[in-house]
Structure 1
Amino acid sequence: MTNHFEPPKDLPLSSKVKGLRKAYEDAVTKLETYRQENARYAPRRTLNALDQYVYHVPAVREVERDLREQEIEAAAAGKALPDREKVLRPILAKVDEYKRMVPALEALVTKARNEYEDGVKEDLVPMGRKEAKAAQQARDAWERAYKAMELAKADLERHAGLFTWCVSAGDMDTPPRTGHSQGDHLEYWELTEDGRLTYEASQELDYLEWVVKVPGLIEPNPAPPVTEEVNHNPKPQYHIAKAEGYGGNWDH
């Protein structure tokens, strides 16, 4: 398995493997938390004034800056300088701890991950059999649902055909779009509250004027087109030329 191996979330892991996964996740969290909480003790690479890469530890640089200020104050007051080794000792100890702890935690993460992956490998056969059984059950349910859908669709086509026979006064006995290359659109079938086929559905189903012979079964167009009135006495428009620009010999 690759370093990026991650089982699907829905995989039926055993309790043992779930425990191994939890141990791996805890190890990762412990490493990340330690790094975040102790970042100031980690070495960092920066550029100096000569554009050279140098390494420094933020915590050491900070305490040395504070120590320098204490030394200046002590010198100004005529007092003894602070003990440099005593001040730096706990910080350097934390720096040394960081250098050792991070590799140890990384090794813990690797060990926990390997144990988790090995546990998943051992469970592949029983998990695969569980999923095969679940797939069979889903397939059987799909077949039952498909057969029920086929029966329901046949009922829909039969009743829609009887409706068509009624609305066309016996001229047609199948929905208008039956056999259409783009489908019969029976999925658009929808009734109004009073039991009529909605106007929108009738348009999708092609219940056009030449099909509908019996009123009262289909909702009228709720927004019929507005018919413009014919003006039998139109006011004539006059386009009279003007003399400007034609000169003195213009004649109209």
Structure 2
Amino acid sequence: MIHRQYPAAPAQVYLFATCLVDLFVPQAGLDAVRLLEREGLTVHYPRQQSCCGQPAYSSGNPEEARAVARAQLDLFAEPWPIVVPSGSCAGMMRHHWPRLFEDDPALGPKARALAERVFELTEFLLHVLKLDLAARAPAGQPHERVVLHTSCGARREMGTREHGVAMVDALPGVTRVEHARESECCGFGGTFSLKHPDISGAMVQDKIASACATGCERLVSADCGCLLNIGHAAVHQGAPLPVEHLASFLWRRTGGEGQA
């Protein structure tokens, strides 16, 4: 696990929802807000936020990534934590935004200060809010067997696999099962899936087959890119593998389903 110093639980936070949540899985963003608000936090959502810049950055276009990041450096002006329901986007903001501006005497310090306030959602729930999921979960829920998928960026840059594991394992009535290809990439990789569709397709096929072999009832992940890739491929293959964002899974399993 990647160690860092965690602040005391704040009264207010920012949400950086990510473009995939905004456009394709808005329910995950709403459920992330509900999880935070239920703990008494006020959640602020700067409407001018956009992409974290990762597609451009990982495609070898740092200038385009720098322009995307520059447009957002002033959106999070208050010294509140920035909570991100995506390990890969959080990794981009925390580790790569400072590198994009490391030679800029004005924007460099601003990017580094912002990066220190970036937390992936489960990391924030576990280490900052110290959320007791077992105390939140109502009795009598049906048992579920799930596999947890952690994106490559979340696993290797943010070290948040351990946070997701801790959150899922704390839920009564939930059994997390591991599979042989859990640590492998799902094949999405942002623009990788567009540039190398045959390789990407083979990778996600292996991932789905390995997950289904466990007899799990669903796959949960904190990264929407992976969820969209795995979920759509499973439907295309006719595989019995429904997917759910971890924020929605945690909200549902702690009695939040149907709440406003």
Q: TM-score, normalised by structure 1?
A: 0.18
Higher helix share: 1
Q: Report which of the two structures shows the higher radius of gyration computed on alpha carbons.
A: 1
Instruction: Report 1 or 2 for greater relative contact order, CA contacts < 8 Å, sequence distance ≥ 6.
Output: 2
